[in-house]
Amino acid sequence: MEFTPRALEERARVLKEQLPSLPVSLAVVAGSGIELVLPEARKLLELAYHQVFPFPVHGLIGHTPTLSFWEVQGRGVLMFHGRFHLYQGYSAAEVAAIPRLAGLLGVSTYILTNAAGALVPTLEPGSLVVLADHLNLQGANPLVGEWGRWREPVFPDMTHAYDPDLRKLALELARQAGFAVQEGVYAGVLGPSYETPAEVRMLAQLGGTVVGMSTVQEVIAARHMGLRVLGLSLVTNYAAGIATRPLSHEEVLEAGAKAQGKLVKLLSELTTKLVAA
């Protein structure tokens, strides 16, 4: 069955009845190998994605597809553990379902994390990139067709897709959490094969700092919903041709696990600051 705006609106209405009745202002999305918890908050509810989204959900190693609901200072925070990717066969509308659902549930700020490869040799694995912009090279856009007509604006401006104030705050808190951190541009490709060395050189020449297979569809949909966006790329590996060994998803997951402590600290500080704002 086709996934329509009506189906998502109906699911949001049902979820609102199931979720604790706290004002929700923030959603956080965990990328590959990134396990997120909020040590100083209370987890009130956890739902498997098949209970959350009105389309068939199939998993991927490195993602536990659940939505958890946390209470932080009397406010609700949604944590999406795992995302949908085009390369898994999901449509652009399905990939964009997370920010759209978050928006329908009352979220105003959307924080996404992802695992990405470094396009420049100076960016070491384990470091963090606060996204300042992106290149959508996936050949898709979640606003094509009826989803684009679903709400205004039909032609959303993407000049400040990644919120400048959130970027500043994230840079400061990431340093405090112990990350080597810089701003950069995310090159979003389709995958699932990793790049060739020639493609990596091209992406760097196009202005990319990191490369990954997610994020851009979500960010376009989030901006269309009027959400403020913060994008954080954990550099899990050097991209092909810069890397001295073959790339693997296992290496990506390992790097996520290694950075877990710092990421949890950063996300915890960020959510505390943002719910209080």
Ligand X SMILES: O=P(O)(O)O[C@@H]1C[C@H](O)[C@@H](CO)O1
Annotated binding site for phosphate: 32, 63, 83-85, 115, 214
Phi, psi of 195 (to 5 degrees): -75, 160
Stretch that binds ligand X, among 2-10, 13-21, 39-47, 211-219 (CB under 6 A): 211-219
Rounded CA gap, 20 and 254, in Å? 34
Cα angle, residue 226 at apex, residues 9 and 102 outer, rounded to 5°: 40
Instruction: Choose, by CB under 6 A, the member of 113, 237, 268, 271 that binds ligand GUN.
Output: 237
Report which residue's Cβ sits closest to ligand X. Answer: 31
Write phi, then psi, for 175 (nearest 5 degrees).
-60, -45
Q: Is the Cβ of residue 199 or residue 269 nearer to ligand GUN in the bound state?
A: 199
- Is residue 83 a contact residue for ligand X (CB under 6 A)? yes
227 binds ligand X per the rule CB under 6 A = no
Query: Can you point out the beta strands (E) in 97-227?
Result: 109-118, 128-136, 181-188, 210-212
Residue 189 binding ligand GUN, by CB under 6 A: yes
Instruction: Give yes or no for residue 31 binding ligand X (CB under 6 A).
Output: yes
Question: How far apart are the two ends of the chain, measured CA to CA in Å?
Answer: 41
Question: Which is nearer to ligand GUN, 79 or 252 (by Cβ)?
Answer: 252
Q: Which stretch binds ligand GUN (CB under 6 A): 121-129, 137-145, 165-173, 209-217?
A: 209-217
Examine residue 188 and tell whether it contacts ligand GUN (CB under 6 A): no
From CA 264, how far away is CA 260, in angstroms rounded?
A: 6
